[in-house]
Every structure is written in structure tokens, then in C-alpha cells.
Amino acid sequence: MEINFIPLQIHGDERGSLIALEESNNIPFAIKRVYYIFNTGKNIRRGLHAHKNLKQIAIAICGSCDFLLDNGSERVEIKLDDPTKGLLIDSCIWREMYNFSEDCILMVLANAIYEEADYIRDYNTFLNEVKNV
Ligand code: T46
């Protein structure tokens, strides 16, 4: 299963570092929504769903967390611990996030506004959907 990390260029100088996220430049879609996840407990598992259409990029802008990505035939576990790397999460990928560090801030850019109808929250339904793609 191919994992796509988007390298994010640092504009740094003696004052520190800055990363800019620009649609159709380093972000390969129109950014319709940004949200961030923080204060997640050590033993908490989030996600546990796929999206029918949504594409997203996840960036651990502080701390770290682990991602499980599953395309219905393969599962890959990835550590996100670098604010210069954006993890591209395509549609029809089951995702789980866990092992959040206490200081983790996980920022996510999305190509659509929030829509509950886009979520597939049942794993067997997800498997049936990917078989039919
Ligand atoms: C995803 C992973 C990486 C909103 O009202 N608006 C929003 O834009 C989002 C994302 C969530 N919410 C509400 C819905 C729930 O009542 O916030 C609550 C927590 O959302 P959820 O349980 O879906 O959070 P996660 O961490 O399980 O999943 C989130 C995203 O929902 C999902 O799209 O891919 O992060």
C-alpha cells in the first residue's frame, strides 16, 4: 500500500521556523476545512472509520501519534512526529489514530466541509465498499 507524505518546506531563520500551507501549491486540493485534535489521552483510539469521498492531510504540528491506514487489503502503521511532513489520507481508507503523546496537536486539512453522511463507521461496510470500487 502506497503511503504518501508531502514534504513541507520550512522557512527558517535565526528567529525560528515557519511553514506555509497553500492550496494547489504544497496542498494538492482546495482546502475547505481545517481542524485539530489535542488533549487526547494516552490510551485513546480515535478515527475507526473511512470516508466515501473526503481527502485529507494530517500533520502532527506538535508531539506525535500513530496512524493505522487500511485500504481493505493491506494495513500500514505510521508514526507522525514531524511538522514538516503531511500524511495524505485518500478517500476509502480506514484510519485509526492512537498512542498520542501528551503534547500532540494533530492538524488536519480537508477538501470538504464536515458531513456525517460521508463517514463509513462500520468496518464490514467499509470492506464491501472497497470491493465494489
Ligand atoms: C478523520 C480523523 C483523522 C465536527 O463537528 N466537525 C468536524 O469537522 C469534525 C472533524 C468533527 N466534528 C465533531 C463530530 C464529533 O462530535 O467533533 C466530534 C469528534 O469527531 P470524530 O469523532 O469524528 O473525531 P475523530 O478523531 O474520530 O476523527 C477525526 C475526523 O472526524 C475524521 O474525518 O479522518 O479525525
Indicate if the pLDDT at residue 32 is higher than 90: yes
User: Would you place residue 132 in the very low, low, confident or very high pLDDT band (cuts 50, 70, 90)?
Assistant: confident
User: Would you place residue 21 in the very low, low, confident or very high pLDDT band (cuts 50, 70, 90)?
Assistant: very high
Domains of the chain: 5-131 (2.60.120.10)
The Å distance, Cα 100 to ligand 1 centre, comes to 16
Residues ≥6 apart with Cβ < 8 Å to 29: 23, 55, 111
User: Would you place residue 4 in the very low, low, confident or very high pLDDT band (cuts 50, 70, 90)?
Assistant: very high
Which residue's C-alpha comes closest to atom 34 of ligand 1?
47
Span 110-120, pLDDT tens digits: 999 999 999 99
Q: What is this model's ipTM? A: 0.98
11 carries an active-site annotation: no
Q: Kindly report the number of other CB atoms within 10 A of residue 94's CB atom.
A: 20
